[in-house]
A and B are shown apart, each in its own frame.
Chain A
Amino acid sequence: MKKIIVACSGGLCTSETIASKVRRLLKERGINDVEINAIKIVDIKLWQKSSDIYISVSGNEDLKYDIPTINGIPFLTGVGMQQTLEELIKLIEAP
């Protein structure tokens, strides 16, 4: 089970919007063994130890985290979404 976190400011809207969307997209591709959590940006440190992938919604994120990070903006704009989805799937399927 791969654990993914998406973070936005309030941990409410933007991150959950992406989380819902990604869940749906992955389900369409038959990938169900993932857990996606929408969290607040300030809580990333808290969550990263127990997570495998981080989807960021901030453009040019200055801070580096311990887990592989994917730019999640394409999931919101639709531009480059397929490509980003492939990237994400690759990370999920990696050992």
Chain B
Amino acid sequence: MQTLQSIVNYIINDLGSIVFMPMIMFIIGKIVRMKTKDAISAGLMLGVAFSCVNAASGLLSGVMSPTLKEFVNQTGINLNTLDVSVSIRAAMTWQWPYVFLIFPMQWGINFLMLLLNKTKTINVDMWNIHNKGFIALLVWHITGNVFVALGWVAVIIVIELIIGDTIQARVQELCGVPLVTVPHSELTLCAPMYAIDRYILRKIPGLDRKFDLTVLRQKIGFWSESHIIGFIVGTGLGLAARYPFAKALGIGVTLGSALVLLPMTARLFITALEPISEAAGEFMKKRFSNREVYIGLDWPILAGRNEKWVCDAILAPILILFAFITPGNRTIPMASIYVSAAMMTAAMIVTNANMIRMLILGVIFIPPSLLFATYVAPYITELATKMNAYEVLEGQYITGLGQESRILRWGIIMISEGKLLGWGILAFWLATFAIFIIGMRKETEKV
């Protein structure tokens, strides 16, 4: 165990994941029977992805770190934690050598559950692996124990498949596509949301209004574009930091650039990894082709619904407000101002796209999201510094506001820290999860 740890440390610190990970990628590529030429290309692409994300990350940290520092100095508002793009988390996750173990775990557990008829969902989405990889990375960083980290991954894999089965009917109702579902840990938020919605919100009369959303969404569209948000936030922060107007505008443009550039670079991870996912997916679909199965996809399939976008837009200024007034919060929303896609998607599933209840749920869950992001920031920052993914100045932190499964993850992180409260949070989440599974299935029972 000790030797393995030192080998891993050697890889991360000395050899550099930029060399080692492509090698692992090549091996895995050959295992799933890629042509040698393609496997080399995929491996190299992984290394290229790291470099590109690091370059983009440098653009972001170069402008935001000093600006944020000055902002805190000038205003005295202690928001020293920047919510950064998920691309940076992706770069960290894919540098972690153990992340590749999640692939066989995901497919193995899924395969087993399908075989034993415990699930109908085939989860082939790549995003998912990254997602679980990140929580595993955090747990590993806190506990130093890779088995514990991967143990939680196994638990989450099973939970996701159950979520997939539970919401399939509602997903079909919402997006019109049959036999697909969204087995994602992003939707673990559905559990507490459902409990609140069912036992409190639905009892309040008058919350059932319909709105004409297409027009509204088109008007909002402009404001949600990456470069626009980047510009507004960057200039805003620059002005709050008492920089001269021209400099603030410059910061706005640079931030807009970073927000446009980062996803472009992070996408290269997918280009590299997609063939593996494809191979596994095809295998499973063929093996279970004689049964009714649900294909597990990521939440964008629900993104056609205007409700989600309009709610995100309305919640954006509320999020910023809460960032300032929530006691104990130190996170500045930036990359996830469109509050995490996932939060409104979870609300949409639970309320069946009832906008008013979605908004109420959003408001309820924003403070915990901010606090969780603040709580977990020190760990993320330590990892980012160690892995050269982002450069912060003294006393600054980075985090991800749009992180998936905030409540469940909070429990897991606290448990990893050895805090008893973690078990309490986990128990709470499990209780709401049980309510959610039972309640949802009854509601969407096909006649």
Give residues in A with beta carbon < 8 Å to B. 7-17, 19-21, 38-43, 45-46, 56-63, 73, 76-79
Give residues in B with beta carbon < 8 Å to A. 86-87, 90, 125-127, 130, 174-177, 179-180, 213-214, 217-218, 221-222, 224-227, 260, 263-264, 266-267, 269-271, 274-275, 277-278, 281-282, 285, 295, 297-306, 338, 341
* Residue from the list B214, B266, B274, B297 in contact with A77, Cβ < 8 A: B297
Specify which of B213, B222, B285, B299 lies most central, judged by the most chain A CB atoms within 10 Å of its CB: B299
In the docked arrangement, what's the CA distance between A9 and B127, Å?
12
Interface of A is mostly: mixed
B313 → chain A, closest Cβ, in Å?
10
In the docked arrangement, what's the CA distance between A12 and B266, Å?
7
- Residues of chain A within 8 A (CB-CB) of B341 are 9-10
| Known A13-B270, A77-B295; contact A62-B130, beta-carbon cutoff 8 A | no
Specify which of B174, B222, B302 lies most central, judged by the most chain A CB atoms within 10 Å of its CB: B302
B298 → chain A, closest Cβ, in Å?
5
* Residue from the list A12, A60, A61, A77 in contact with B86, Cβ < 8 A: A12
A34 → chain B, closest Cβ, in Å?
15
| Known A40-B263, A43-B226; contact A60-B175, beta-carbon cutoff 8 A | yes
Interface of B is mostly: helix
| Chain A residue at minimum C-beta to C-beta distance from B172 | A59
In the docked arrangement, what's the CA distance between A41 and B297, Å?
16
Contact assessment for A62 and B301 in the assembled complex, using a CB-CB cutoff below 8 Å: no
Contact assessment for B295 and A63 in the assembled complex, using a CB-CB cutoff below 8 Å: no
- Residues of chain B within 8 A (CB-CB) of A58 are 175, 300-305
Contact assessment for A42 and B225 in the assembled complex, using a CB-CB cutoff below 8 Å: yes
In the docked arrangement, what's the CA distance between A13 and B342, Å?
14
Contact assessment for A12 and B90 in the assembled complex, using a CB-CB cutoff below 8 Å: yes
In the docked arrangement, what's the CA distance between A8 and B275, Å?
19
In the docked arrangement, what's the CA distance between A8 and B299, Å?
9
* Residue from the list A8, A11, A78 in contact with B285, Cβ < 8 A: A78
Contact assessment for B295 and A76 in the assembled complex, using a CB-CB cutoff below 8 Å: yes
- Residues of chain B within 8 A (CB-CB) of A78 are 281-282, 285, 295
Contact assessment for A14 and B225 in the assembled complex, using a CB-CB cutoff below 8 Å: no
- Residues of chain B within 8 A (CB-CB) of A15 are 267, 300
Contact assessment for A17 and B126 in the assembled complex, using a CB-CB cutoff below 8 Å: yes
- Residues of chain B within 8 A (CB-CB) of A77 are 177, 179-180, 295, 297
Contact assessment for B304 and A40 in the assembled complex, using a CB-CB cutoff below 8 Å: no
Further 12 A-B residue pairs, CB within 8 A, beyond A7-B300, A21-B278, A43-B226:
A11-B267, A14-B298, A15-B300, A16-B267, A20-B270, A38-B267, A38-B270, A42-B221, A42-B225, A59-B177, A62-B217, A78-B285
A8 → chain B, closest Cβ, in Å?
4
In the docked arrangement, what's the CA distance between A42 and B229, Å?
11
A49 → chain B, closest Cβ, in Å?
13
| Chain A residue at minimum C-beta to C-beta distance from B341 | A9
In the docked arrangement, what's the CA distance between A63 and B267, Å?
25
Contact assessment for B301 and A13 in the assembled complex, using a CB-CB cutoff below 8 Å: no
* Residue from the list A8, A43, A62, A79 in contact with B300, Cβ < 8 A: A8
A64 → chain B, closest Cβ, in Å?
9
In the docked arrangement, what's the CA distance between A24 and B264, Å?
19
| Chain B residue at minimum C-beta to C-beta distance from A59 | B175
| Known A21-B274, A58-B302; contact A10-B179, beta-carbon cutoff 8 A | no
A59 → chain B, closest Cβ, in Å?
3
Contact assessment for B267 and A62 in the assembled complex, using a CB-CB cutoff below 8 Å: no
7 CB < 8 A contacts A-B: A13-B298, A14-B127, A16-B267, A20-B275, A40-B226, A60-B305, A73-B297
